[in-house]
Structure 1
Amino acid sequence: MSDSGFTDFVKAIRPDMRRQAYLLCGDWYEADDLVQQTLIKVLLRWQGLDRRDELAGYTRTVLVRTFISDHRAPRWSREFPYDRLPEPDPEHGAQEGVADRLLLLDALARLTLRQRAAIVLLYWEHLSANEAADILDCSVSTVRSQAFRALARLRSILRAETLPAGSRLTGSDGSDMTDE
């Protein structure tokens, strides 16, 4: 099978894919497995993919759908979630607000799969509801409904947790995730 740019594509997109996968899974090892599964699926279709300018979006769609598909039915071989989140990825170094981000990631892990995917796509990836609907293979109103319910659930979870004084949980665009 000819590479024809796949290696360069993977080198360029893998860090973003890994971050997206972590936001969906909440576990770096599972995120790496999800990225691997996604890249295998993309590689198998690589020769037939003509619109190279849209590969990032296609790959994101495959990533999200693979995540939802793999988590839809419980498997006997799956690992059980831990009570606490793992340490942040050492490759990215210490960041301000690590405790807040860990709290938010813990809250994200309590959402349903589709709610979590909607939040990640809309608020971290800054996609429109139409783009998220295409990726999730559902209607725009379903995306909005899932996001609305997810935000309400996140607010409820975060209010129940003790936030350090002055903490503000923010998305990657700096928007406040705790405001109503």
Structure 2
Amino acid sequence: MADDEFVAYVDARMGWLQRVAYLLCHDWHRADDLVQTAVTRLYLHWRRAEASGNLDGYARTVLVRVYLAEQRGSWWRRVRPVEDVPDAARRPDDPDMAVDLREALKALPARQRAVVVLRFYCDLSVEQTAEALGCTGGTVKSHTARGLAALRRSLEGTRT
């Protein structure tokens, strides 16, 4: 059954999808919403996703596109009245650096953040990232360069 395969896939990859969504939006509740929307869209196109030969890539692309579409939405959808502290799955080696890195990543514009997360957290190539975002390799490279430069500037101020 296709539904059984879908459920098995989502059960196996839910944690990964949530971590990618969190890195994109920096809010666990919003990440859950993004994943829910992405999983729903994945279900609607499950046969096409299976036929793609790369379920993780297809799911990741859907998730990133849901995130970027939400970023283009109305401002009131992005306003958070309360800042929630994220639940950590494990303790990083340097907790202060992890917090600084998350804050620096959070400050990046949405497309730069998406590129940095896909390239360095999801370990995608330039071409794979371009395909996921629906842009050219040159755009990925320029967003990567600008994003990394901004992260370096931000993190240099925290190491003093």
Normalised by the size of structure 2, how large is the TM-score?
0.90
For 1:100-158, what per-residue CA distance to the aligned partner results, in whole angstroms no more than 9, with x for missing partners? 11111111111111100110011111110000000010000000000001111111111
Task: Work out whether residues 21 and 35 of structure 2, in 8 Å CA contact, stay in contact via their aligned partners in 1.
Answer: yes
* Aligned-partner Cα distance in 2 for 1:71–1:134: 19
- Alpha-carbon RMSD across the aligned residues, in angstroms, is 2.1
Correspondence for 1:149 among 122, 146, 151: 146
Decide which structure has greater helix share. 2
Q: Secondary structure at the match of 1:156?
A: helix
How far is 1:75 from its partner? 2.9
- Matched residues, percent identical? 38
* Aligned-partner Cα distance in 2 for 1:48–1:141: 28
How far is 1:18 from its partner? 0.5
* Aligned-partner Cα distance in 2 for 1:48–1:89: 34
Name the structure 2 match of 1:94.
Answer: 91
| 2:60 corresponds to 1:40 | no
How far is 1:52 from its partner? 6.2
Task: Work out whether residues 49 and 58 of structure 2, in 8 Å CA contact, stay in contact via their aligned partners in 1.
Answer: no
Normalised by the size of structure 1, how large is the TM-score?
0.80
Alignment size in residue pairs: 160
Q: Which has the higher contact order (CA 8 A, sep 6+)?
A: 2
* Aligned-partner Cα distance in 2 for 1:152–1:140: 18
Aligned 1:42-57 pairs, distance under 5 A: 42-51=42-51, 53-57=53-57
* Aligned-partner Cα distance in 2 for 1:122–1:2: 31
Structure 2: gaps spanning 5 or more residues: none
Task: Work out whether residues 130 and 136 of structure 2, in 8 Å CA contact, stay in contact via their aligned partners in 1.
Answer: yes
Amino acid at match of 1:56: D
